Chain A
Amino acid sequence: MERKIPLPMLILAILGFCYLLFPILVVVLAGLTTGEFLTFPPKGLSLRWVISFLNSEKYLSAFFFSFKLALMTMIVSTILGTAVALFIARSRFVGRTALRAFFLSPVVLPGVVVGFALYAFFITSGLGISRTIWGLWIGHILYSTPYVIGTVGASLATFDVSLEEAARSLGASPMRAFRKITFPNIAQGIQAGSIFAFIVSFGQFEVSLFLSAPNSEPLPIAMYNSLRYKFEPDAAAAGIFAITLVIASVLLTNRLVNIRRLLERQDG
């Protein structure tokens, strides 16, 4: 077989893969240990801690809480981020680049700052949402939306506006032109953005630390709290489930988008 990339690049790529896969390997193997403590390499392999996770009220509820939160965050972030990306891409005014930078800023701000700022605001404003799921949701949306803006913005940059103009000229209202022409062509970017939003929210720690309620903790907070006191492998077992969920959600959205495309082609 013909090699498509130069050898040094190939070596770097393989190193990169190993580097990225190593933590996942650590989590998976540590979660499958037979021993009493979180160690690497594991002492023998068993499903002991996986079963322990499945029986643990604390971890299971945290897992599903995170899942629900990530889903809610994904929905709002996707809609909001797409709208903002469209606005930035389509309007022509001075300070457009500044606006883009402004919208992307939560990504570069440390999560601790965002979390604390929101916490302080919720407390002092008396909105009554500090340390509730609503406040947490707002924090996660704030943190996830820039990823959607980024990916949708990128797909809009390669989208040819004359496609939309052609549709308008053929009789489509702005809304119809968006739905039938623009949306299908930026769907990949929206899809990527929504996966990002889901994953970012699911793994979010710093913002959650400030905003989550004591009785309903997202998975990363639950793990952190439990690992502070005892170094038990069920945290790693929970990690296995988290990794599985993320991979499954990526595969599933891919599949869903393909199905939608197929349907679209059939209804002429």
Chain B
Amino acid sequence: MVYVEFSTISKHFGTSVAVADLDLQIEQGEFFSLLGPSGCGKSTTLRMLAGFVKPTTGQIRVNGRNVTALPPEARDIGIVFQNYAIFPHMTVFDNIAFGLVERKLPRAEIKQKVDAALAEVGMTGFEDRYERELSGGQKQRVALARVLVIEPEILLLDEPLSALDKKMREEMKYWIKNIQKSVGITTIYVTHDQSEALTMSDRIAVMDQGRVLQIGTPVEIYEQPASRFIAEFIGESNLLDGTALDVHGAVCSIDIDGTTVTGRLTQNNAAIKGQAVTLLVRPEMIRLHSLDASEKPKLNGTVREIIYQGSVVRYRIQIGHQHVMVEVANRPDLARLDLDDDVEVYWNADSGVAIP
């Protein structure tokens, strides 16, 4: 069931266009991410849903109700800000109680709900602390508790992990996802970090310059990126330039420096025959040692760089005038290569994606 719907939403600031003709449909209970580079309009989109920014055109519906003209306090939406926005003059208890006090709940009920929320985020015992007495991760938990305690229809998170250090970020990523799952709340998550989006989301919308480029599950976005921009933005990519030779349904044969390889087309597009295409192969999809003689295609290359990373070894391989990065698991059954070794480069026919 569609729960949140943006229809032809756009936002102009003076002459600059922050969001253009946005159409989004988000399901109930879904964890939906807006992913894109800085300045692409993610926060503006979120803030329009929260009611802080008025769209220039279009309509936003939540649960069938048109909320476009409603002020934030009438929307029943919880938002967690990048800097958490913990009220500095109030204790943790009063911060979490704020929304309940505004809803004029009886004192005893407020106390009981705040206690439950504190327990849920693992902050019991911190009631009397002030913002300045909390670490980044603790502020994060308080900010989330403050929002969840009012049981909003939608949870909005604007880059909630970007102020934390790397280790904390990893930890909070799973923690937020677990809480979201157990509460079952429809969540929209803004980030410019593709790994966050891939790990946490049910679906991702990739944005650039105020437009949505592709919407899909993490698997679809990663394995079938619709454009070169998305391929480069999400994960690490090897992009090989070639010419489309022939198209059979969703399979395209491509000439790369005289060798014919195949790639999947993300959309049926017979018209690209004879034109320049880009072949995307992820570093971990490439093999340097054939385990199966039937594996196609086969390109000849030379090892130009070796990067040892413990669990994996990365090789930069030169193929003709192009280069690919290859990531190989560091296992005893896979022989190590040396600089300037000549190698044969393979990948599963399904692992190459032809991008027009």
Q: Which residues in A have some Cβ–Cβ distance to B below 8 Å?
A: 160, 162-163, 165-174, 176, 180-181, 184-185, 261, 264-265, 268
Q: Is residue B353 contacting chain A, with contact meaning CB distance below 8 A?
A: no
Q: Identify which of A168, A171, A185, A268 contacts B89 (C-beta below 8 A).
A: A185
Asked if B222 is at the interface (CB within 8 A of a chain A CB), the reply is no
The answer to whether B52 has its CB under 8 Å from any CB of chain A is yes
User: When the two chains form their complex, are residues A170 and B71 in contact, meaning their CB atoms are under 8 A apart?
Assistant: no
Do the beta carbons of B83 and A171 come within 8 Å of each other?
A: no
Which A residues touch B77, using CB under 8 A? Answer: 169
B interface bracket (residues with beta carbon within 8 Å of A): 20 to 34
A174 to B72, CA, bound (A): 10
Once the chains bind, are B89 and A170 in contact (CB under 8 Å)? Answer: no
The answer on a CB contact under 8 Å between B150 and A166 is no
A162 with B102: in contact, given A168-B71, A168-B72, A172-B73 (CB under 8 Å)?
A: no
**1/0 per residue B273-301: CB within 8 Å of A?**
00000000000000000000000000000
6 examples of A-B residue contacts, CB within 8 angstroms: A162-B83, A169-B72, A171-B102, A172-B102, A184-B89, A185-B88
How many whole Å from A129's CB to the nearest CB in chain B? 42
Given that A162-B83, A184-B89 are known contacts, is A171 also in contact with B97, CB under 8 Å in the complex?
no
CB closest residue in chain A, given B81 = A162
Tell me the smallest distance from the CB of B352 to a CB of chain A, in Å: 45
Whether the Cβ atoms of B150 and A170 lie closer than 8 Å is yes
- Mark interface residues in B67-89 (1 if CB within 8 Å of A CB, else 0): 00001110101110101010111
Cβ of A169: which chain B residues have Cβ within 8 Å of it? 50-51, 72-73, 75, 77-79
| Nearest A-chain residue to B79, judged by Cβ | A169
Instruction: Report chain A residues within 8 Å CB of B103.
Output: 171
Q: Is B94 in the interface zone, CB < 8 Å from A? A: yes
Q: Is the interface of A mostly helix, strand, loop or mixed?
A: helix
Task: Give the residues in chain B near A167, CB-CB below 8 Å.
Answer: 87, 98
Contacts A169-B78, A170-B150; A162 near B85 (Cβ below 8 A): yes
Q: Complex formed: what's the CA distance from A268 to B106 in Å?
A: 13
A162 to B143, CA, bound (A): 12
Q: How far is the CB of B131 from chain A (nearest CB, A)?
A: 10
Provide the residues of chain A in CB contact with B55, threshold 8 Å: none
Q: Is the CB of B94 within 8 A of A166?
A: no
Residues of B within 8 A of A261 (CB): 89
In the complex, what distance in Å separates the CA atom of A171 from the CA atom of B102? 6
Whether the pair A171, B79 counts as a contact (CB closer than 8 A) is no
Cβ of B192 < 8 Å from any Cβ of A? no
Tell whether, in the assembled complex, residue A165 and residue B72 are in contact, meaning their CB atoms are under 8 Å apart: yes
Using a CB-CB cutoff of 8 Å, which residues 137-162 of chain B contact chain A? 146-147, 150
**Bound complex: CA A30 to CA B50 (Å):** 65
Task: Please give, as numbers and ranges, the residues of chain A lying within 8 Å of B88 by CB-CB distance.
Answer: 163, 185
Measured in the bound complex, the distance between the Cα atoms of B88 and A166 in whole Å is 12
Minimum CB–CB distance for B52 against chain A, Å? 5
